[in-house]
Amino acid sequence: MRLSGNPRIAMTVRIALVLIAFTMLGASPGLYAANAWFLDGFWAITIKTPTGNGFLPDEIQVLANFTLDGSLLASSNLPPIPVAVPGLPPTFKEGEGHGAWVRTGYGKFYLEVWRFAALPDGTNAGFAKGQANVTINQHGDGLEGTIRLQLMNTVGPPAPPLFGTVAGKRIEPVPVKTTP
């Protein structure tokens, strides 16, 4: 069959072939195709750390906002954390997280976030650093991966890192009526 005679038929056949190829490969040119390239948006994330690590809770809930320019802002439900440094108060509190993300492959991302670690009187005790490799699911609305957490304190060498897992769900804004 010769397609060069009618440009409309030729274009229609090409589009049909592309759609058939996507179907045969199990890919969909929908949400995942768009969202797998970007992490941008608002996410609810759970970090799981080793049980009984003596430093962090076994599970940390995080709200994270990933911007289109690769920035990251995060907050968590982290309680005051015990400090095992002689002469310092027994706990410190982490501030809000600031960081960046970069795409490392199709649906794959590297994230890094830093937070101030302050003593109860507000004195800076260093930084808490989190580094993660995550993958977005086929629908573009979930992620999972691994994380490395470490306290970079100002009074001594960095604390030994803790390793854990990360799982998250994209939170899509849903318009609602805001007036009676």
**Each residue of 28-62: pLDDT tens digit?**
334 444 555 678 899 999 999 887 766 778 888 99
| pLDDT at 23 exceeding the cut of 50 | no
Structure tokens at 132: 């993660």
What is the CATH number assigned to the segment(s) 36-171? Answer: 2.40.128.120
Task: List pLDDT tens digits, range 106-155.
Answer: 899 999 999 888 777 777 778 888 999 999 998 889 999 999 988 887 76
What is the average per-residue pLDDT within 92-105? Answer: 86
58 φ/ψ angles, rounded to the nearest 5 degrees = -65, -25
* Residues 101 and 39 sit within 8 Å (Cβ to Cβ): yes
Cβ-based neighbours of 126, under 8 Å, separated by 6 or more: 117, 151, 152, 153, 154, 155
User: By C-alpha distance, which of 153, 84, 141, 86 is closest to 115?
Assistant: 153
